[in-house]
Structure 1
């Protein structure tokens, strides 16, 4: 898969993940799984491993009947180190590809696939998912906590729609704005810190996203709120909140901290915790289908 190079914004995202990924894999909530997305504690999740796999199970259930067996193609947008690529390949008889903007992640993903004997049927490339080639087209695309990094969803959505087969599905699990207390200064500061810390390029409400998708032939067929299944305010999260609070004493201190990927991750993560707890942000699964 030959893709063009990254933009300035995605280079900044790449630097963030290059610097943080190995720490995520060592210290993350679900580090042992190889995934760097969040644990979702639905009633079926009885331990950390199953909570880490919840999102994968949800994706698989929504793609299985929409990807032709044998010659189907699935693409993971912002695939991290390839853990979800592996899970999709285990459950769906299709060729599964992943794309990440991070060279560190791409290198780890190649090893992950090779160790599991999946290099012939799966691949991970290092590139910008906003610059996909016209071919091949995919029967399914997924994105877990990744499309928010796009500098322009209004540009990205038509590009993805053009690369989906008719009847194909785009399944996204990500953070979405709500209208709750919009304009409240504390809310706007929280959202701004989340965006700056986690290198967020686009943050929309579900309604705003659906309005972008409909004109390019993508119809929202499911909107599932997963926020209530996250475990917020763990002791570790509270400790980080206290730690990063010191960076807010002086604006210049916070600006310098935001330029350091580890501190940026903690500042953004602390703001995200607040935003989710107050429902200024929600963690939702969206399924869009191409007519």
Structure 2
């Protein structure tokens, strides 16, 4: 890890500070939405739920399976998976504030008995070997300081034949290492891999890659729609967080999504071998 790579403490602190904002702004769906095109008028929260469904469908989640949500945020995707797919979900987050917020969300869910949350680190999971049928990591591995460690942990806690689904931003093939490093440093990102690099890393970890979808134009490429959401909620956001915070929020979105020619988005499904 070099001096520009955010530490686990940095990431935890960042998400501690943004937990309340994400609850109001995107109802806890702390990942990017999916819109089909500019004419798709789906509300932002429902568009974000599409990513969770695409992840679930990529690995064919089935009722009563045990699922680990690695980097669960404030719990909205985990609760959605439990409600819509009748799976049992355990979520872990490096942010203690997010863990508390996720527990509160769980208490108000119809699937409360099938969801649990904990403060934890996917580099070193506190679960026995072969505990889960599936692992999902939705825009969380971008923060991994050492990608080999969480992948090894996922392999360990998966049962033979268990599946892993990753949804994350990716580096387009034309982007130089220097250009990628600039993006990573600006937004506290530890990993920005191309799709071929992701496939290589997963195979090196001992996983079998079964499917991958590059949907960058419909996800990262549509991100500036967050500005419309900020305008929609301007009064509520200003009343709770202040005018300066709202201004900074909107500028951060302009900065983050200004890289649309360089950044993609992929959903990748892999499996632990049966033998």
TM-score of the superposition, structure 2-length normalised? 0.79
Relative to structure 1, the CA distance from residue 121 to residue 198 in structure 2 (aligned partners, 3 Å threshold; closer, same or farther) is: same
Q: In the alignment, does 2:261 pair up with 1:288? A: no
Give the stretch that moved more between structures: 109-118 or 35-44.
35-44
Distance 1:192 1:216 in 2: 24
Q: Paired residue for 2:192?
A: 203
Cα shift readout 1:135-179 (whole Å, capped 9, x = no counterpart): 152111111111010001122212211211111111111011122
Distance 1:89 1:220 in 2: 25
Relative to structure 1, the CA distance from residue 173 to residue 123 in structure 2 (aligned partners, 3 Å threshold; closer, same or farther) is: same
Unaligned runs of 5+ residues in structure 1 are: 1-7, 240-260
Relative to structure 1, the CA distance from residue 153 to residue 267 in structure 2 (aligned partners, 3 Å threshold; closer, same or farther) is: farther
Deviation of residue 59 (structure 1)?
A: 2.0
Q: How does 1:248-259 map to 2 (within 5 A)?
A: none
Q: Paired residue for 2:71?
A: 78
Distance 1:73 1:45 in 2: 34
Relative to structure 1, the CA distance from residue 23 to residue 195 in structure 2 (aligned partners, 3 Å threshold; closer, same or farther) is: same
Q: Paired residue for 2:107?
A: 114
Unaligned runs of 5+ residues in structure 2 are: 1-5, 231-244
SS state of the match for residue 174, structure 2?
coil
Q: In the alignment, does 2:216 pair up with 1:227? A: yes
Distance 1:263 1:219 in 2: 44
Distance 2:211 2:115 in 1: 28
Relative to structure 1, the CA distance from residue 134 to residue 111 in structure 2 (aligned partners, 3 Å threshold; closer, same or farther) is: closer
Q: Paired residue for 1:253?
A: none
8 Å CA contact retained: 2:227, 2:250: no
Equivalenced residues, count: 248
Q: Paired residue for 1:153?
A: 147
Q: In the alignment, does 2:227 pair up with 1:236? A: yes
Q: Paired residue for 2:94?
A: 101
SS state of the match for residue 131, structure 1?
coil
Alignment partner for residue 137 of structure 1, among 128, 131, 136?
A: 131
Distance 1:286 1:233 in 2: 24
RMSD of aligned Cα (Å): 2.9
8 Å CA contact retained: 1:198, 1:268: no
TM-score of the superposition, structure 1-length normalised? 0.75
Distance 1:235 1:84 in 2: 19
8 Å CA contact retained: 1:161, 1:217: yes
